[in-house]
Amino acid sequence: MFNKEEIRRFFEENEYGKWRSGEKVSYEIPEEGTVEPLVFFGQEVPGRPVRIFVDEVSFTVRVLLPYEDSPHGEGHPFFICMHPIQPAEIARKAGYGLIFMNSIEIASDDYKHEGCFYKLYPYTEDSQTGVLMAWAWGASKVLDAIENGLGRELGFDPGLAAVTGVSRWGKATAVCGAFDHRFKMVIPTCSGAGGLALYGVKSQGKTYDLTEVGGPADYTYGENEPLSCLQSDAERGWFNDKFLQYKTEEEIPVNQEMLAALAMDPGSYYFILCAATGEDWVNAPAMWECYNRALPYYEEAGLSRHFAIHVHKVGHAVIDEDLELIIRYFDSDIFSDRHDFLCKSQNLYL
């Protein structure tokens, strides 16, 4: 077994920056039509607005309730999503609610360190939290609000929260799971480098048989995202300044399987999603290897059923088949203990 405190401290000091907690969190549900529409990357976000107050700052989320014929009755499970996800209707029909964040309101996606998080915790030489950690903090504050009464008003069970995000928000989801163990399920999706793609594990130029997921028998990967891209002006704001010290991936002493292992907890489940094709940059084989390296920690703790991976054919997103599997996993293991879930894509990338 590994030393969780040492690993946690490494990620805080050398990659993502300081985790924050303990603020006073409350909420307000405004009257319909009294709040400006929430727009995320040019698209209006559906759902009922809820304002989350954290000390002297606030941000808005949008809530979609499950449909009335939900199989779960009162106390619904729900997804906290760092952005809108596509198969929302599948979740609602299965009795799951959704809460959509506007993560850019929490922390700007750059190295300027703007947004409500940085109003509370300014980014200075002596106190640094990167954007990925700030977004993770935002999801954690939403869960605080759920625990502080919002869950009762929405019919959401605070003990049945899942958190998810795709791409850079997949990285933030992995960070969130590592630092906040209250989430019943953590679903980092297409997280790539700086998320769950192992540093130093390259698929570019390698050919794989992907027929198991409906892909070609001879798919050759193109370029994977390098460390230099994570340290560029476009992405370095995701991390703290000390992350810039590493000149090669080999210099990083702790690899990303430890981020997944850090999330391990008897009360939570971890479900990695990635795409086999069209995602060469994101490097699905390196995330597959991350799963394989982290699995022994879960096995040693008797929690192997709490750790799963699914590789879909194509799509930089949580797609329909993903959510259907997640709901099946959630319902069988968490609600009934039937243990009839079987992770797909088990022999991929061998």
125-150 confidence digits (pLDDT tens): 999 999 999 999 999 999 999 999 99
| pLDDT, greater one: 4 or 72 | 4
**Mean pLDDT, residues 217-225 taken together:** 96
CA distance 328 to 94: 10
Percent of the chain with pLDDT over 70: 94
Domains of the chain: 4-336 (3.40.50.1820)
Q: C-alpha distances in angstroms, 281 versus 66, 138, 202, 224, 264? A: 35, 27, 10, 4, 27
pLDDT band at 107 (very low <50, low <70, confident <90, very high): very high
**Least confident span in 35-39, 113-117, 129-133, 191-195:** 35-39
HEC per residue, the chain: CCCHHHHHHHHHHHHHECCCCCCCEEEECCCCCCCCCCEECCEECCCEEEEEEECCEEEEEEEECCCCCCCCCCCEEEEEECCCCCCHHHHHHCCCEEEEECHHHHCCCCCCCCCHHHHHCCCCCCCCECHHHHHHHHHHHHHHHHHHHHHHHHCEEEEEEEEEEECHHHHHHHHHHHHCCCCCEEEEECCCECCCECCCCCCCCCEECCHHHCCCCCEECCCCCCHHHHCCCCCHHHCCHHHHHCCCHHHCCCCCHHHHHHCCCCCCEEEEEEEEECCCCCCHHHHHHHHHHHHHHHHHCCCHHHEEEEEEEECCCCCHHHHHHHHHHHHHHHHHCCCCCCCCCCCCCC
Q: What's the pLDDT at 334?
A: 66
Q: Quote the CA–CA distance of 104 and 122 in Å, as a whole number.
A: 16
Distance between CA 96 and CA 3 in Å, rounded?
35
- pTM of the predicted model, to two decimals? 0.95
- Residue pair 340/332 in contact (Cβ under 8 Å)? The answer is yes
Retrieve residue 69's tokens.
């014929």
Report d(CA 177, CA 188) in Å as an integer: 9
| Phi then psi dihedrals of residue 308, to 5 deg | -145, 160
Tell me the C-alpha distance between 119 and 121, whole Å. 6
Sort strands 76-81 and 43-44 into parallel, antiparallel or unpaired.
unpaired
- What number of other Cβ atoms are within 10 A of residue 233's Cβ? 8
pLDDT per residue over 21-59, tens digit each? Answer: 999 999 999 987 788 888 888 888 889 999 999 999 999
Euclidean distance between CA atoms 93 and 86, whole angstroms: 14
CB 59 within 8 A of CB 102: yes
Nearest to 272 by CA among 261, 281, 280: 261
Can you tell me the mean pLDDT for 4-19? 98
Token look-up 């933030």 returns 172
pLDDT in tens, 265-310: 999 999 999 999 999 999 999 999 999 999 999 999 999 989 999 9
How far is Cα 25 from Cα 54, in angstroms, rounded to an integer?
5
- Binned at pLDDT 50, 70 and 90, residue 333 comes out as low
Nearest C-alpha neighbor of 90 from the set 79, 104, 102, 105: 79
pLDDT at residue 222 tops 50: yes
Q: In the prediction, which pLDDT does 108 show?
A: 97
